[in-house]
Amino acid sequence: MNRVTERPDRVASARATLGTSQLGTSLAVAGSMVVLHSFLRFLFSLGDLPNPLLNASSWLLLLAASVFSIIAVRASGYLLGNLTFSFLLGSLAVVVALDLAAVWHAGSDNVYPTAAIAAGGVLLGTVTLRSVRDVAISSGVLGAALVVTFLSRPDVDPLYVGAEVLLTTLAVMPPLIACILVASYRRMVLMALDRVLIQSTVMAPAFGVSMLESEELAQVDLEVEQLFDDISSGREPLPLEPDRAHRAGELSTVLRRHLIAGRRHTWLHHAIAESDFLSVSVELRDDEALAALLDQRQRDGLLSALWLLMYGEQRTTRHAVVTFGPSAPVASTGRPRVRFPIEIEARGMRRVDVEPATWQHLGRTGRYVDTTTTGALMVVIECAVDSPIDQ
């Protein structure tokens, strides 16, 4: 069967525009408005410029660099590579230098730079194509250059300080604000994707291997099958050669390790380990593998509560220790049941920091009691589930 492969540029384009295409288009339009405003100011003040040819040269370079970057971005699948971005920044540096040099001695004539201000609009259009750090640093350098130029003019006039501050703000603040918005948006999308990724563990078997371990196990299983097929068909004579025998021993060790891990690691262990967010903020202590006894409703409630506890403005300082057990049998005339506590110590949190929905999710896991200690929030959940002996 023939496999239809996608073009690399289409794949890159889909990856680059996933969830940010509309946001990137809006920022590009906003950046073009800044450029258009600055260009109209250049046209209206053309007769007052002391060096119009120098200003015009800066504008020609700005437009040429912008058009080249747009063509390069479209050709690469809407990805702004390091080489193209470096070329764009170098061109903008020359543009700013030419434009500021052209109006250096014209401060008292109410003449201000235009192309240098438009450079901020160009940076605004690149926020979704580059990392926030790159654009923020470039915008900060642009703002510093404008401030130093305005303050060091030989004929600086205090009456025109307001206009200079306004122009600097117009060049620097839009890309910086866009950096904050895009960083928050990217973080929100990554958090949502990470949450969806581990949501499957709620309905996964109580014990087993993780997704990454499953891929490794499948590769080992394929290699074992090929080895057995070679032996049965006679392509691999017995006894095995030393190197093949050594490899067969390695495969058996790997399979044994997966078998042991599959009986120790519960769904919650995999959910935390596979999450880029929870793996750095949640520590699990479950020596008896009691998390495997929770039903789907309790799993979803506990996992959602952990997410809400760890997510927030101060998430970098939050850390949770989740401890299961010890377990104890419950006297019952029906099916054997077992009772055990789940202790959640959320360090760096107070009760007022907890989202109201968190308590609802905790209630789905079991009856809970919360207390506040110095620098931590303690939640103890009492769970009563069917005994594993009867399952």
Alpha carbon distance 149, 156 (integer Å) = 10
Residues 343 and 235 in one domain: no
Residues 239 and 304 in one domain: no
Residue that finishes a domain, picked among 196, 227, 249: 196
Q: What's the confidence (pLDDT) of residue 18?
A: 46
Residues 146 and 13 in one domain: yes
Residue that finishes a domain, picked among 262, 292, 307: 262
Q: Is residue 302 part of a domain?
A: yes
Cβ atoms of 73 and 84 within 8 Å: the answer is yes
Per-residue DSSP letter, 237: P
N- to C-terminal Cα separation, the chain: 45
Per-residue DSSP letter, 204: S
Tell me: pLDDT of 57 over 90.
yes
**Main-chain phi, psi angles of 127, to 5 degrees:** -60, -40
For the chain, the farthest-separated pair of C-alpha atoms sits apart, in whole angstroms, at: 98
Residues 254 and 147 in one domain: no
Residues 24 and 79 in one domain: yes
Q: Is residue 218 part of a domain?
A: yes
Cβ atoms within 10 Å, residue 86: 10
Residue range 14-49, pLDDT digits in tens: 344 445 566 788 899 999 999 999 999 999 988 888
Residues 162 and 88 in one domain: yes
**Domain range holding 233?**
209-262
Q: How many domains does the chain have?
A: 3
Mean pLDDT of the chain: 80
Residue of 102, 104, 128 whose CA lies nearest to 26: 128
Tell me: pLDDT of 328 over 70.
yes
Cβ atoms of 128 and 24 within 8 Å: the answer is yes
Residue of 321, 319, 309 whose CA lies nearest to 353: 309
Handedness of CA 124, 125, 128, 131 (dihedral sign): negative
Residue of 305, 314, 375 whose CA lies nearest to 344: 305
Residues 26 and 175 in one domain: yes
Residues 33 and 169 in one domain: yes
Residues 111 and 59 in one domain: yes
Q: Is residue 60 part of a domain?
A: yes
- pLDDT category at 238 given cuts 50, 70, 90 is low
Q: Is residue 2 part of a domain?
A: no
Strand partners of residue 283: 321
Q: What is the CATH number of the domain that holds 371?
A: 3.30.565.10
Q: Is residue 360 part of a domain?
A: yes
Measured at the CA of 283, the angle between CA 358 and CA 216, to 5 degrees, comes to 110
Cβ atoms of 223 and 251 within 8 Å: the answer is yes
Alpha carbon distance 390, 98 (integer Å) = 81
Residues 55 and 96 in one domain: yes
User: Helix 21-44 crosses helix 161-199 at what angle (to 10 degrees)?
Assistant: 170
Q: Is residue 270 part of a domain?
A: no
Q: What's the confidence (pLDDT) of residue 259?
A: 56
Residue that finishes a domain, picked among 219, 236, 262: 262
Please tell me whether the peptide bond between 326 and the residue prior to it is cis, using omega within 30 degrees of 0: yes
Residues 88 and 146 in one domain: yes
- pLDDT category at 115 given cuts 50, 70, 90 is very high
Q: What's the confidence (pLDDT) of residue 307?
A: 86
Contacts of residue 137, Cβ cutoff 8 Å, sequence gap at least 6: none
Q: Is residue 183 part of a domain?
A: yes
Amino acid occupying residue 17: T
Cβ atoms of 207 and 262 within 8 Å: the answer is yes
What's the whole-model pTM score?
0.67
Residue of 373, 366, 352, 274 whose CA lies nearest to 324: 366
Q: Which residues of 193-220 are buried (b: 16+ CB within 10 A; e: fewer)?
A: ebbeebeebbebeebbbbeebeeebeeb
Tokens for 105, please give them. Answer: 């001695």
- pLDDT category at 254 given cuts 50, 70, 90 is low
The alpha helices in the chain, defined as continuous H runs, are 8-17, 21-44, 52-75, 82-102, 115-124, 132-151, 161-199, 211-233, 242-262, 267-274, 296-310, 356-365
Residues 33 and 139 in one domain: yes
Residue range 333-364, pLDDT digits in tens: 667 778 899 999 998 888 888 888 899 999 99
Q: Is residue 271 part of a domain?
A: no
